Amino acid sequence: MSTSEPVVAKPKDASGIKPAVSTPTRRQYWSSLRTMLSPQRFSLREEQFFLLLAVLIGIGSGLAVVCFRMSIEYLKLHLLGSGLLPSVPRVFLAPMLTGLVIAFLVIRFFPRARGSGVNQTKAALYIYDGYIPMPTVIGKFITSALAIGSGQSLGPEDPSLQIGAGIASALGRRLKLSREKLRLIAPVGAAAGLAAAFNAPITAVLFVIEEVIGRWTAGILGAVVLSAISSAVIERWFLGDEPLFRVPAYHLEHAGELGAYASLGVIGGFASLAFVKYIAYLRPRLRQLPSWTQYFQPAAAGLLIGLIGIKFPQVMGAGYSYMDQAMHEQYTWQILAILGALKIVTTGLSFSSGTPGGLFAPVLFMGAMIGGAVGMAERQLVPQLAIPVGAYALVGMGTLFAGILRAPMTSVFMILEVSGNYSIIVPVILSNAIAYFISRTFQPTPIFDLLSRQDGMDLPSLEEEREVPLLRVEDAMRPPLGQTLTGKLLLHEARQRVQGSAQDYFVVGMGGDEWSGMSRAVLLDMIPNSDIPLSQVLTARIPYLHPDHPLDTALRLIGGRPMLPVVHRAHVQQLLGVVSLDDVMRAYRGAGINESHPEPAPVVP
Amino acid sequence: MSSVTKSPPAVIRCQTCGKEIPLGADSCPACGRHHSESSPRLTLAILLILIFAGFAFTQYVVRLHRATEASLAKRWFNRGNQDMQANLPSLAAEDYRTALSYDRENRQYTLSLAEALLAANRMNEARSHLTSLWEEEPASGEVNLALARLHVRRGDRARAIGYYNNAINGVWDEQPRQQRIAARFELVRYLMQQHDLAEAQAELMALQADGPPDPSDQLLLGQMLLQANDPKRAIDAYDIVLRNDPRNADAWLGKGLAALQIGDYLAAERALATALEHDPNSEQARQQLDLVREVLRIGPAFRGLSLAERTQRVAEAFSAALKRLTGCAAQQGYSLAAPDTAKAGARASAAKTMSLPTVEATTPAPSNLQQLYTSGVQKQASATDAALRRNPDALEPTMQYVFEVERTAASICPTMDLTDRALLTLAQNESETVK
């Protein structure tokens, strides 16, 4: 920030003697005011401006998402009626007819509105320099509201994420941010959109970090958090701070309960797998059909969903109220299992047909139903485990979230945030971990990567990055062979020591946490029989490494030096080894041969 | 306003098609749209204005939506109430659930939903909703009462009583005193159903100490005290009602019954006569008054009676008891064997004298009836008016025998005439006194 202060000219009288009290003129006032309000005085560095902008993006996205949710409610009320169980004609007609309108709008006006908002935001980050066109945002708003409001089996979170990202992108472009910041602005908006949709800022931040950005970057974290919080504040301002679900009370009373949750993890893992495989199979096949069929695909999906909805209207729309009912044990385990299975079918139909809308709410719905079914069945089989079904439904949500969307941290924090119950953390972690493991074992490519590859894009993923083994200094270092020197040695002693050694370069411990180095030739060129200690001769210091440092750090620090010392973290003067550029390169080459970068999954045509 | 310090320029993309616009170009090479340059400060100013406008617009939209939701919630809630009144709890539950979907924080809707689910026998759902409500507000009287009812239906006595106590001591939004009194009455009813009279009496004592302000509650309290075998306190409760409303026939009836239970037959007669005076159509008052008068007529232990009157009453009671015994046996088809053959003639003559019914019975009588009969036949000679006058010490054992007969016969033959009812009443009061 500039430190320029307003300068007020001090008037002098004709005699040059300063008056006792100086009275500024009107002109001087204006001048000082102009200086006070000058842009230079208020100028911000780009980082600060970026944080301010994140707050504004959060507010804007929050407002947009609140309006989006209102639109969905309004459309639902008018298309499906006010009852929880809509009438048969509405159930049958609303999704089908609205599907025709949606298809027309998407194909003619908003072609980029179809597909996953998460992937489009990622594409904006990695491919389009943060660019998300405003018409896409408007199209996503309208078509998603129509789809969800008419009962298509999709959720509002994914579109909200894209709406937030689109608003951020438009602002960033208008404000002419740097290329780097413009790239990062879309995820900032995405976090805001998701936070407002879920009323869960921590979940939004984690999801954006895990899924959209794909790496933990301190530079972006502050902006993402700020935008998510300001967006959540706006959402709560208008819609209240009630949690997404009214979760029944739960306490882990016996360790034996964990066995029950583990079984839920197994079932949830295979259910996740079934859903992802189903999408992976159905979506490309529907896209292969002649292009004119795309006008009718959402309507056909709507028709099928309507037919199912006549008997099971719960599977229509986002279904949050039905998740609430599942938590409060309204259904038998058989009905819950049927609803979970039907939701997999209907969501696959809606999503694969190109109808705009998100996967988050349907995934939570599946999880709630499957979790509830497992809970009720277990209660019948093992009545001693008096675990409330609501707890199972809640854990089921996290389980399917971890299994399908493959965002394990987000899934845990989401459950904590939407339930406000920290007693459930152990069951959630256990069940999520099992489902995540099963899903990863049998479906190596996460669903968002699968979708982006189906769309012809290869976007980076945090999960795949996690798979790449991180090389460390300890993988490249070698033991310190031969003589090591210390700064206390006198020059002639040092000469004696190196004379018999085959080494060309020696690292020298200077005492404290300082290290230096010198070549054999330089040492031998010095005056013999000198009583000067080495520490007086060696003024330059070299950096040192620890064994756990990433190998990249060694590469950056080594510069033109022949080698660097690798020292103990607790005893910096204890030399554990040395590492040279050759060692580093050898380690990289070895890793390349032995542990190759995981190949991307084949693109399904 | 803010400005941004210079940094590497962003790639300029077309607002319409997204294609890159070369530096210095005014329009998009792909779609030809004019590319406008606007200052960041102006954009920020516009953004702030847009945020304010958006805020106002969203506020308007949300308010409109809230109003619609509130109206829909109310409509569905009323529909639910109508369904509950029509005894359609399953339908009502759906209505309440819909109402709740529009007003999720409304505790009244949740509570009504839970009550409808309870009425529809959907215990688990009801429990889940009630537990959630209880977690939010553990001191709520309404929620605790609903939970108590739930556990009553589930047969979990300990939890039911616990929640009833929570409800009695809990927080009530409207008319807290009346609600607590009603909850305690409900608890007393439950305890009585569970045949836990001691606990019920304790709760009734607490209720009486609290002093229900409503006369109808006092009346109910009196009735319950009577049912809980606490007639003295019942009389106190009825007296409070009568102090405010001396013409309350129900209170007079209750007081009469309580006095009858205590054994204060004169007070009972007065009270029952007054009850009948104020409500001549009260069949119960009439029957009870007849009973009391019969008790007063036949009871030998009242003060002021001469020995002659006593012996006469005892002899009459003995005769009635023996008749009751043989009548009951005949009614049940039991044959009562004579004590021994030598006395068969005496038995036959006794039967003739007392006009005992002769029954062609084949089933042997239960041992207690047979023993009583044997004992009665043996006592017969010493239980006449003259014999009793000669031996007043036999009055007490004779009456004990009469009471024993009446108690035993009542357990076998519930129907009885007025004299037997009077004797049974005396027998019951006698045993209460002994206790």
One domain, residues A77 and A156? yes
Please say whether the beta carbons of B392 and B366 come within 8 A.
Answer: no
Dmax of chain B from CA atoms? 143
Q: Using a CB–CB cutoff of 8 Å, tell me whether B68 touches chain A.
A: yes
The answer to whether residue A218 sits within a structural domain is: yes
Whether A430 is covered by a domain: the verdict is yes
Question: What pLDDT is stored for residue B33 in this prediction?
Answer: 61
Give the domain range for residue A337: 257-294+308-467
Mean pLDDT of the region A368-391: 84
Of A537, A540, A516, whose CA–CA distance to A527 is shortest? Answer: A537
Provide the number of structural domains found in chain A. 4
Same-domain status, A193 and A69: yes
With cut-offs at 50, 70 and 90, classify the pLDDT of residue A260. Answer: confident
Q: Which positions in chain A touch B76 (Cβ < 8 Å)?
A: 82-83
- The top-scoring range by mean pLDDT among A32-46, B32-46, B295-309 is B295-309
The dihedral formed by the CA atoms of A396, A398, A401 and A403, expressed in degrees to the nearest 10: -70
Mean pLDDT (chain A) is: 83
A270 and A360 in a common domain: yes
Same domain, A380 and A510: no
Inform me whether the pLDDT recorded for A377 exceeds 60.
yes
Of B10, B18, B125, the CB nearest to A177: B10
Q: Identify whether A299 is part of a domain.
A: no
CA A9 to chain centre: 54
- B105 and A328 in contact by Cβ < 8 A? no
pLDDT confidence tier of residue A43, bands split at 50, 70 and 90: low
**Interface contact flag, A176 B13, Cβ < 8 Å:** no
Q: Looking at the structure, tell me whether residues A201 and A231 fall in a common domain.
A: yes
Here the CATH number for the domain that contains residue A363 is 1.10.3080.10
The boundaries of every CATH 1.25.40.10 domain in chain B are: 64-237, 246-298
User: Are A114 and A261 contained in the same domain?
Assistant: no
- Tally of CB atoms within 10 A around B172: 18
Nearest residue to A318 (alpha-carbon basis) of A130, A75, A132 = A75
Q: Name the nearest CA neighbour of A112 among A88, A144, A136.
A: A136
Report pLDDT for A331: 84
The answer to whether residue A73 sits within a structural domain is: yes
Decide if A543 is inside a domain: yes
- Among A110, A246, A325, A333, most B C-beta atoms within 10 A, so best to mutate, is A246
SS (H, E, C) A481-525: CCCCEECCCEHHHHHHHHHCCCCCEEEEEEECCEEEEEEHHHHHH
A328 closest CB neighbour out of B11, B57, B128: B128
Nearest CB neighbour to A242, from listed B57, B61, B104: B104
Residues A367, A492: one domain?
no
CATH of the domain spanning B246-298: 1.25.40.10
- Interchain contact, A67 vs B61, CB within 8 Å: yes
The verdict on residue A600 lying in a domain is no
**pLDDT value at residue A220:** 79
State how far the Cα of A76 lies from the Cα of A71, in Å rounded to an integer. 8
Give buried/exposed letters for B196-213 (b at 16+ CB in 10 A, else e).
Answer: beebbbebbeebbeeebe
From chain B residues 121-150, the ones with a CB under 8 A of any chain A CB are 122, 124-125, 127-129, 131-132, 134-135
Indicate whether A179 belongs to any domain. yes
On the 0-12 / 13-18 / 19+ scale of CB atoms within 10 A, B347 is: buried
One of 4.10.640.10, 1.25.40.10, 1.20.1740.10, 2.50.20.10 is the CATH number of B64-237, namely: 1.25.40.10
Tell me what the mean pLDDT of segment B204-217 comes to: 80
- State whether A319 and A401 are in the same domain: yes
Contact A330 B125 (CB under 8 A): yes
Please give the pLDDT value at position A604: 36
Q: How many Cβ contacts (< 8 angstroms) between chains A and B?
A: 147
pLDDT at B36 over 70: no
How many C-beta neighbours within 10 Å does residue B226 have? 21
Is A153 inside a domain boundary? yes
Per-residue pLDDT, averaged over B40-52, amounts to: 83
β-partners of residue B332 are none
Question: A129: which chain B residues are within 8 Å (Cβ-Cβ)?
Answer: 10-11, 13
- pLDDT for position B67: 92
pLDDT value at position B78?
A: 95
| Position B349 pLDDT exceeds 90 | no
Q: What digits encode the pLDDT tens for the residues A497-548?
A: 877 777 788 888 888 888 988 888 888 787 666 778 888 888 888 999 999 9
Contact (CB<8Å) A84/B47: no
Question: Predicted confidence band at B244 (pLDDT cuts at 50, 70, 90)?
Answer: confident
CA atoms within 13 A on the CB side of A237: 16
CA angle A553, A554, A557 (to 5 degrees): 85
In this prediction the ipTM stands at 0.72
Which of A272, A165, A243 lies closest to A208, judged by CA?
A: A165
In this structure, of A436-450, A585-599, B297-311, B374-388, the range with the lowest mean pLDDT score is A585-599
Q: Do A247 and B132 touch (CB under 8 A)?
A: yes
Task: Mark whether A342 and A426 lie in a shared domain.
Answer: yes
Interchain CB distance below 8 Å, B94 and A135: no
What is the mean pLDDT of the segment spanning B287-305?
86
- State residue B34's pLDDT score: 57
pLDDT confidence band for A600 (50 / 70 / 90): very low
pLDDT band of residue B14 (cuts 50, 70, 90) is low
Same domain, A22 and A51: no
- CB within 8 Å: A73 and B18: no
* Chain B residues within an 8 Å CB radius of A329: 124-125, 127-128
Give how far A44 is from chain B: nearest CA, Å. 6
CA distance A459 to chain B (A): 19
Q: Do B125 and A135 touch (CB under 8 A)?
A: no
Residue A583's CATH number: 3.10.580.10
A112 and A3 belong to one structural domain:
no
Specify whether A447 is located in the same domain as A542: no
**Looking at A29-33, B244-248, B368-372, which range is the least confident one?**
A29-33
Among the ranges A323-337, A343-357, A493-507, B196-210, which has the highest mean pLDDT value? Answer: A343-357
**Least confident among B93-107, B189-203, B230-244, B324-338:** B324-338
CB contact set of A350 (below 8 Å; sequence gap of 6+) = A147, A152, A153, A154, A298, A301, A302, A305, A357
pLDDT band at B41 (very low <50, low <70, confident <90, very high): confident
Q: Distance from B148 to chain A by nearest Cα, in Å?
A: 18
